[in-house]
Amino acid sequence: AQTVTQSQPEMSVQEAETVTLSCTYDTSESNYYLFWYKQPPSRQMILVIRQEAYKQQNATENRFSVNFQKAAKSFSLKISDSQLGDTAMYFCAFMKHGGGATNKLIFGTGTLLAVQP
């Protein structure tokens, strides 16, 4: 079975600064996707960034980038130039891919990020 661990329940960062959220996972699968989702107070879950396990290059989406270490099973999210609107709960998630896989996401427990003005 796959597990996803987020060891930082809460984090705080000053506006315009950089913050890194940690995520580790455990799986015996070789083909999978990893995601970071953001859930603001509105409760709507929004995809921040996606990483395919077979790609060595780290994914980047504007101010958001990941550090994907496949051997270490680590998948951290870096937010640069933090903005007040980044305040939210951030979830790391795993999805098996291929071989009859479905769209089942396995989530970590989340990290509550507060961006301070």
Partner 1 sequence: KAGVTQTPRYLIKTRGQQVTLSCSPISGHRSVSWYQQTPGQGLQFLFEYFSETQRNKGNFPGRFSGRQFSNSRSEMNVSTLELGDSALYLCASSMQGLTEAFFGQGTRLTVV
**Site residues for partner 1 per CB under 8 A:** 33, 37, 42-47, 50, 91, 95, 97, 102-110
Least separation in angstroms between residue 23's CB and partner 1 is 14
Task: Return the amino acid letter for 9.
Answer: P
**Of 13 and 94, which CB lies nearer to partner 1 in the complex structure?**
94
In the complex, minimum distance from the CB of residue 100 to partner 1, in angstroms, rounded to a whole number:
9
Residues near 117 by Cβ (< 8 Å), separated by ≥ 6? Answer: 15, 84
> Nearer to partner 1 by C-beta: 82 or 91?
91
The Cα 59–Cα 23 span in angstroms is: 15
Minimum CB separation of residue 37 from partner 1 in Å reads 8
Q: From CA 25, how far away is CA 67, in angstroms rounded?
A: 13
Give the helix, strand, coil percentages of the chain, each rounded to 5: 5, 50, 45
| Of 77 and 82, CB closest to partner 1 | 77
**In degrees rounded to 5, what are phi and psi of residue 87?**
-60, 120
Task: Identify which of residues 11 and 45 has a Cβ nearer to partner 1 in the complex.
Answer: 45
| Min separation Cβ 79 and partner 1, Å | 20
